Structure 1
Amino acid sequence: MQKSQVPSYSFSPLKGYENFEATTQIIISEILERGLPFEILDTENNLVAVQYNNKEYVIHEGTISDANSLIAYWISNDKWMTKLFLKRNNIHHASGVLLQSTYNDKDFKSLQFPLVVKPTDTDHGIAVSTNIQNQEDLHQAINYAFRHSDKVIAEEYFPGREYRFLVIDYQVRAIAFREPANVMGDGQSTIQQLINNKNANRGEDYTHPLLKIKTDEEVDRHLKAQSLSLTSVLPNGQKVYLRKNSNLSTGGDSIDVTDEMPDYYKEVAVKAAKSAGLKIAGIDIIICNLNKEPSFNNYIVVELNAPAMLSMHNFPYIGKNRHVEKYVLDAILNAK
């Protein structure tokens, strides 16, 4: 899959609604475009109510609404429960174990390194550690994850590229390749300086589609594995990845690949959304080879996200605006 690597990112906050998350701004813009009456209920919680056909529709964070049932939202919000529903529908996912705070090394006997560790109920890549190669790093990652959740998943690492499929009413409307946080060397600047330069056009929070690259224990560990540190100077043109997980919340780049994705992986995304009954969903899939049809050796579904970020599809780092808000608002307004 070849894409132009020239950044096309351009985002201007919606005037008068700059304090809302970018996904909410996108939905408000569509509501305004349609001339529908609406009310701001709570800016801090991105909560709005819109009137349509004498009915009221409450929307939280741009996509959380009556379009998805409570049970569907609950399934997607628990990563271990998500595995159960994927398994019921014969959808491939990573082999893993659920850990309590009283875990011991025997719990990992069925797993093979490298591993991934993540809390069961956090979003945006919080406390996720990937490509763990040894017991020392494993225990460190588990302890880090337990700071954010009472339950933690350890699962086998699956190589490949991670894609976000936006599924609306069981149709794929946009697909983004989320490239992990990275910097390109210039032969003079340290990695920390390169991070600072790339962060200049990014936001501190979700009021912007792309967020600043954050440095933490995972970045330090990942650089150390490459015999690098934040003070290292990279040769001109050398790209270095700062972490394995590709969440935009930790500084990843969104690249639109909607037109390049084969239909058979779009069908996997729709099937995954249906497994939990999600009408609006962001489906994360890791794929080894796009030219090979889906098989247990070529893909896994990583997560189902009921709070589906729209801004990565309308304002990608590279690629075109998919204008997904019209499909999302239609799904919400047709829910009653």
Structure 2
Amino acid sequence: MQSIYTTTITDEARKRGIRIKVLDEHMPIFVLTKGRKNVRCFNALTDKVGAASFVMAQNKRAANSFLRKHDIPVPAQESFFDIKQAMRFLRKFENIVVKPSTQWGGRGVSVGIKTSAELKYAICEAQKYEDDVVLEQYVRGEDFRLIFVNYKFVAAIRRRPAVIIGDGHSSVQSLIKRFNNVEKKIDPSHQIPIDVETKRALRQIRMSFGAIPPKNASVQVRLNSNYHTGGMVDVMSDKIDRSLLVLAKKVVRLVGIPVIGVDFLCDTIRNRYWVIELSPDLAISPPEGPEVARHFIKYLFRLR
């Protein structure tokens, strides 16, 4: 059960004299105990969350539909049925995202799909993880996650696509491997995949895995900003626009889940926001992890 997400929580629990019992060595399921109170956890998901609310929030299609009905700004979206329908959706929006409906960590997600060939490949990639695939309008903006504990805003992060820095003699592939080797010692889940999505991102900037970037050149190697595909994270808790925070609070109350991440794409120039996903089984990870874990433990056991 040793992962950076669970140890962030369990380290904070130990500081407060809370006992930890691991229920499964291969999954992040554990029980926290203080006095007579026991709380079963899966990462930061607990039995305090209703099953129906969790399923709705975790399912990207269901969450999008629910929020749209409550006038929350979300990208246009359709479930994938067949390639003809998918092509119509692509022609309508010209640039789309294809993703599995319930996966996390960027698995099976393809961003910036613009051609029929890319669309067919993206659907196949998404279906490797599940049959339920979502087609979504691509919207431009900075990627933010606002994190709530006990319905209260506790942290915000900005996520940026994975970047490597050239040294003037190493190939892109070598630089990615070097990045992955360093990050593996810190968080094994923070890795840049050497896959078709990375190859596609490089092609858009006229580069390849074999290209040698100039010394100190910054090269964006992914189109998505997910932490689990090498994305960078900045803590922005004290820099969030008030209107975005008000919208996020409304979303959390509507969904009815006390511990959750609300993911936005934000066009700060035009002051437009879109909710792109909800994270009801929040992985409490660096760099905002310790602060979120502190609020999480206080919430579970009503501590000061």
Match of 1:304 among 271, 278, 281: 278
Figure out how many residues of one structure are paired with residues of the other and give that number. 300
2:151 and 2:243 mapped to 1: Cα distance? 14
Q: Which residue of 2 aligns with 1:11?
A: none
1:305 and 1:250 mapped to 2: Cα distance? 17
1:90 and 1:53 mapped to 2: Cα distance? 44
SS of 1:202 mapped into structure 2: helix
Relative distance call for 1:224 and 1:47 in structure 2 (3 A) is: same
Does residue 6 of structure 2 align to residue 32 of structure 1? no
Does 181-190 or 50-59 show the bigger shift? 50-59
CA contact (8 A) 1:67 1:332 kept: no
Letter in 2 for 1:177: R
Relative distance call for 1:309 and 1:38 in structure 2 (3 A) is: closer
Q: Aligned Cα RMSD in Å? A: 1.9
2:8 and 2:170 mapped to 1: Cα distance? 36
Does residue 93 of structure 2 align to residue 125 of structure 1? no
4+ residue runs of structure 1 moved beyond 4 angstroms? none
Q: Which residue of 1 aligns with 2:3?
A: 21
TM-score, L = length of structure 2: 0.92
Letter in 2 for 1:220: K
Unaligned runs of 5+ in 1: 1-18, 316-321
Q: Please state how far the C-alpha of 1:195 moved relative to its aligned partner.
A: 1.1
Q: Please state how far the C-alpha of 1:108 moved relative to its aligned partner.
A: 4.2
2:131 and 2:253 mapped to 1: Cα distance? 28
Q: Which residue of 1 aligns with 2:145?
A: 164
CA contact (8 A) 1:97 1:108 kept: no
Relative distance call for 1:193 and 1:230 in structure 2 (3 A) is: same
Does 184-193 or 112-121 show the bigger shift? 184-193
Does residue 73 of structure 2 align to residue 92 of structure 1? yes
Match of 2:209 among 210, 227, 230: 230
CA contact (8 A) 1:85 1:275 kept: no
Match of 1:184 among 165, 168, 182: 165
1:91 and 1:326 mapped to 2: Cα distance? 30
Match of 1:239 among 201, 206, 218: 218
2:234 and 2:183 mapped to 1: Cα distance? 16
Letter in 2 for 1:151: D
Does 29-38 or 148-157 show the bigger shift? 29-38
CA contact (8 A) 2:97 2:113 kept: yes
Does residue 85 of structure 2 align to residue 106 of structure 1? yes
1:299 and 1:108 mapped to 2: Cα distance? 26
Q: Please state how far the C-alpha of 1:259 moved relative to its aligned partner.
A: 1.6
Unaligned runs of 5+ in 2: none
Letter in 1 for 2:298: D
Q: Which residue of 1 aligns with 2:236?
A: 257
SS of 1:58 mapped into structure 2: strand
1:149 and 1:200 mapped to 2: Cα distance? 30
Identity %: 24
Q: 1 or 2, which has the higher helix percentage?
A: 2
TM-score, L = length of structure 1: 0.84
The one-character-per-residue Cα deviations of 1:282-305 (angstroms, maximum 9, x if unpaired) are 11100011x654xxxx22111000
Letter in 1 for 2:282: A
CA contact (8 A) 1:119 1:151 kept: yes
The one-character-per-residue Cα deviations of 1:8-29 (angstroms, maximum 9, x if unpaired) are xxxxxxxxxxx51212101111
CA contact (8 A) 2:244 2:273 kept: no
Q: Please state how far the C-alpha of 1:308 moved relative to its aligned partner.
A: 1.1
2:48 and 2:223 mapped to 1: Cα distance? 32
SS of 1:93 mapped into structure 2: coil
Q: Please state how far the C-alpha of 1:229 moved relative to its aligned partner.
A: 0.7
SS of 2:55 mapped into structure 1: helix
The one-character-per-residue Cα deviations of 1:256-290 (angstroms, maximum 9, x if unpaired) are 1112221221222222222221111111100011x
The one-character-per-residue Cα deviations of 1:59-89 (angstroms, maximum 9, x if unpaired) are 112x010232212211122110011111122
The one-character-per-residue Cα deviations of 1:31-81 (angstroms, maximum 9, x if unpaired) are 1111123322223112221223523211112x0102322122111221100
Letter in 2 for 1:56: N
CA contact (8 A) 1:178 1:255 kept: yes
CA contact (8 A) 1:67 1:331 kept: no
SS of 2:187 mapped into structure 1: coil
Does residue 27 of structure 2 align to residue 45 of structure 1? yes
The one-character-per-residue Cα deviations of 1:111-131 (angstroms, maximum 9, x if unpaired) are 311111001111111010001
